[in-house]
Amino acid sequence: MILYNLLRNLLYFVIMILAIFNGKLLKFFKSRLFQKIENDDFLNSGEEAIFIHFSSVGEFNLTKELISEILEGKKTGKKEKVILSVMTNTGFEAVSKEYSENRNVKIFYFPLDDFLAIRKIYKKYKIKKTLIIETEIWPNLYYFAAKNGELFIVNGRLTEKKLKSYLKFGWIVKKTVNRAKKIMVQSVSDRERYEKLGIKRDKIKVYKNLKYSIKYNKISEDQKKEYYDTVVDRNKKAIVCGSTRPDEEKIWLDVFEKININNEYQLIIVPRHLKRVYEIEKMILEKFSRNDYSLFTKIEKNKKNSETGKYKKIVIVDKMGILTDFYQMSDFAFVGGTLVDIGGHSILEPLYYGKKPIIGKYFQNIEEIVKDAKELGFIEIVENEDEIVEYLKKFENVDTREFFEKNNEINKILDEILY
C-alpha cells in the first residue's frame, strides 16, 4: 500500500504539470480530487449507508434494479440510504438525472482511489457495505471498505487479457481482492481466472449477469408511428445493425447488395462510434447512389418522407441513445463487434424486444449470455456473408419472457449482500 501510494503521488506530479497545458485534463482531476465531501445531514444519527461504485453509464444501467431494490428495502423491509460513486462524466450525468432529487441517494465522482479522499468519505459517512460493480481493482477503496464494513464484488468479470495484466502485479492484486467478503462473478470461467489470481475459492460465487435484470424502455405507439412515417419503411424487412465496428459495415453492405435485388429490405446502420459516420458514407457511395441513403438526423430535421413516401434504402443513425428504438422496429437485428475480433456487444436488448440476434463468431465478451441464448435457440451465429444471406431469407421473432425470468438472479445476489 505504501509503495502503491508513493507511485500514485509521483503520477499526480506528472499529471498536474501536463494539466497546466490541458484544460480538460485539469477539470477532470479537479472535479474528482477536490469535490465537496461532507455529511450535510445525509445520514441521521445511527444511520448507515451502502456505497456502490461503478465506472460508466453501462455499469449504471445494469445496476439500476439492484439500487432500486436496496433503496426500497423489498428484501429486508428496511429502506436503505445509498452513496453512488461513478468514474465517467456521462455516467455521472446519467446517475444525477435519475437520482439528484432522491434524498436517500448521495452522488460522487470516484476520487481516483486517492488515499486521503477515500479516507475522508469513509470518515464522513458510516458505510456498512461497499459494492464494486464488475471488476475495478482500487487498493485504497478496497482497504477502507473492508476496514469500515463489508466489501462485495458484484457481476465480476475477468478476461484472459486482464488476468495476464493483473498477474504482473500479483503481490498487490491478491491482497487487495481478498479483502472482499464475497465475489459474485458471471461465469465459471471468471471464477477460475479469479482463482488463478490467488483468491480464496470459498469467497467466489457464480451468478448470472446483472444485465438480465435490466428493464429496457419500450417506445410508445405514437413514437412507432413517427418512425414509420419518416424513417422505417413498414413495407420492407428492416435490418438493424447495432453497435457496428470497422469492417462490419462493409460486410453488411455486400450482403444488402446481394439480397435486396427485389427491393424487399431496408438497411439501418447504427455505428458504435459516431465519429465514423463519414467513413461509412464513403463505403455506401462505393456501391450505391447518394439518393439511396440518408443520415437519420437529416431525415429527422426535414420530416419529408411522410409527405413524399420516399424512404431510403439505407439509413445511418447518427444520433446517440436510440439504438433500442430501432431494435424494436427491426425484422432482423445484428449485434456488432462480433464479425470482427472485438468480442461482442450486448445481445440482451434485441432479445428483450423478441428479436433473435444475429452475431458473428467473435463473442468472447458475451460468452455466457450467448451460451444461455443458444440453449433455447434464441441466437443466430454466422461466419460469412453467404450464411447471413441465407438467414435473411427467413423471419422469426421469439418469445423471450421465460429466458429473462429464468436467468434473472438479482434476488440471489441481494441475499448474498444483505444477509
CATH of the domain at 140: 3.40.50.11720
Does residue 23 lie in a domain region?
Answer: no
What is residue 8's predicted lDDT score, i.e. its pLDDT? Answer: 87
46 torsion bin: left (phi>0), alpha (psi -120 to 50), beta (else): left
Q: Could you list the residue range(s) of the whole structural domain that residue 179 is in?
A: 47-206
| Dist. CA 337–CA 344, nearest whole Å | 4
Could you say which of 38, 48, 59, 69 is catalytic? 59
391 is a domain residue: yes
Tell me the CATH number at 241.
3.40.50.2000
Contact call for residues 96 and 62 (beta carbons, < 8 A): no
187-224: buried (b, 16+ CB within 10 Å) or exposed (e) per residue? bebbbebbeebebeeebbebbbbbbbbbeeeebeeeeb
Residue 298 near residue 287 (C-beta atoms within 8 A)? no
Among residues 216, 259, 239, 230, which one has the least CA distance to residue 64? 216
Give the pLDDT score at 305.
Answer: 47
Cα(224)–Cα(228) distance, integer angstroms: 6
Confidence at residue 309, expressed as pLDDT on a 0 to 100 scale:
52
The answer to whether residue 12 sits within a structural domain is no
Instruction: Classify residue 275: in a domain, yes or no.
Output: yes
Q: Is the domain of 130 the same as that of 168?
A: yes
Q: Which residues of the chain have pLDDT under 70?
A: 39, 304-309
Out of 182, 206, 230, pick the residue that ends a domain: 206
Considering the domain architecture, whether residues 93 and 152 belong to the same structural domain is answered as yes
- Please tell me the total count of domains within the chain: 2
Verify whether residue 59 is a known catalytic residue. yes
Is there a single domain that holds both residue 95 and residue 234? no
* Same-domain status, 89 and 162: yes
- Asked if residue 137 is part of any domain, the answer here is yes
142 belongs to a structural domain: yes
**Which pLDDT score is estimated for 301?**
87
Q: How far is CA 339 from CA 241, 327, 345, 358, 359, in A?
A: 11, 18, 11, 10, 7
> For position 120, what pLDDT does the model report?
94
Q: Please give the pLDDT value at position 308.
A: 47
Tell whether 140 and 112 lie within a shared domain. yes
Return all residues near 102 (Cβ < 8 A) that are at least 6 apart. Answer: 71
pLDDT for residue 3: 86
Q: Are both 278 and 393 inside the same structural domain?
A: yes
Query: What secondary structure letter does DSSP report for 56?
Result: S
Residue 13 belongs to some domain of the structure: no
C-alpha cell at 85: 460513486
